[in-house]
Amino acid sequence: MKIGVTGATGQLGRLVVEKLKEKTSAENIVALVRSPQKAIDFGVELREFDYDKPEILAKSLAGIDKLMLISGSEIGKRTAQHANVIEAAKDAGVKLILYTSLLKADTSTLGLAGEHLSTEDALKKSGIPFVLLRNGWYTENYTGSLADVIAMGTLYGSSSDGKISSATREDYAGAAVAVLTTEGHEGKVYELAGDESFTMSEFAAEISRQTDKNIPYVNLPVEEYAQALMKAGMPEAYAQFFAGTHVSTEKGDLFYAGHQLSKLTGKPTTSLSKAVSDALSRIK
């Protein structure tokens, strides 16, 4: 049983490969990468894989039984890129595809949902058995900017009291590996999110508690928040996109209470408190 992992040099893909090695022999794992120089220490077979090069994809998928398709990072190009991979998987006779979609992709107001839905649609039309791993937000999306938040003494956003059921990349990788290494998942749609949810005010309170500083959450109108992000150096398109995700947060798009992730892995997802303390230990 050969398992191929795309995006294996990314932050999520690396964790998937590492965790797969704990569950199955390295000989069964193929890292499908566009930047092999980033993967020299992986200890598994590497094959060239660039979503923009349809001519090489089927050959690189030869002999792969299960394919973990990690969504690409180039927003706007992904429908076509993922379609290239699905087409090649059909040609290569892949038996199961896992795709990292978006939490509640069919109802989400996030602008990102469209590309994920079109990929889900391409999978349905392909005839290849598939599993949808609809991943919620990464907790690292928040803890990644902890140093800046502490330096500013304030957490800004536009999410109001929207609840965020995020989980760490490690948690999502664990769920993916559970699905890749056990049977009976064909056709399943897993809505994956953290066991806990928090608001931005609760996130600010947790940072304050762990740093012994008073770091309040200040909710801004979305345009003002986008302007603040631009002033801090974020390119305009990204600032608008990022501020928009806060509006979707307020609408509940990042909230999910179904505990499907921890049911797959058999353990609770990483708590906000642990994620904050881990992030603080990295910046101290």
Ligand X SMILES: NC(=O)c1ccc[n+]([C@@H]2O[C@H](COP(=O)([O-])OP(=O)(O)OC[C@H]3O[C@@H](n4cnc5c(N)ncnc54)[C@H](OP(=O)(O)O)[C@@H]3O)[C@@H](O)[C@H]2O)c1
Two tokens, residue 30: 């193929």
Work out which of 20, 29, 68, 71 binds ligand X, going by CB under 6 A: 71
Work out which of 60, 84, 100, 168 binds ligand X, going by CB under 6 A: 100
CA-to-CA distance for 9 and 7, rounded, in angstroms? 6
Work out which of 3, 4, 5, 10 binds ligand X, going by CB under 6 A: 10
Question: Is 194 in contact with 151 (CB distance < 8 Å)?
Answer: no
Using CA atoms, how far residue 138 sits from 65, 161, 168, 244, in Å, is 28, 18, 5, 16
* Residues from 30 through 49 that contact ligand X (CB under 6 A): 34-35, 38, 49
> What's 81-143 look like in SS3?
HHHHHHHHHHHHCCCEEEEEEECCCCCCCCCCHHHHHHHHHHHHHHCCCEEEEEECCECHHHH
72 binds ligand X (CB under 6 A): yes
Question: Is 156 in contact with 225 (CB distance < 8 Å)?
Answer: yes
* Residues from 134 through 173 that contact ligand X (CB under 6 A): 135, 137-138, 141, 169
Question: Is 194 in contact with 171 (CB distance < 8 Å)?
Answer: yes
Provide the 10 A C-beta neighbour count for residue 55.
9
Question: What is the closest distance, in whole angstroms, from the C-beta atom of residue 115 to ligand X in the complex?
Answer: 9
Work out which of 70, 110, 193, 207 binds ligand X, going by CB under 6 A: 70
Question: What is the closest distance, in whole angstroms, from the C-beta atom of residue 177 to ligand X in the complex?
Answer: 14
**Closer by beta carbon to ligand X, 73 or else 214:** 73
**Closer by beta carbon to ligand X, 92 or else 211:** 92
Work out which of 1, 59, 73, 154 binds ligand X, going by CB under 6 A: 73
Question: What is the closest distance, in whole angstroms, from the C-beta atom of residue 14 to ligand X in the complex?
Answer: 8
Residues of this chain that bind ligand X (CB under 6 A): 7, 9-13, 34-35, 38, 49-52, 70-74, 81, 100, 135, 137-138, 141, 169
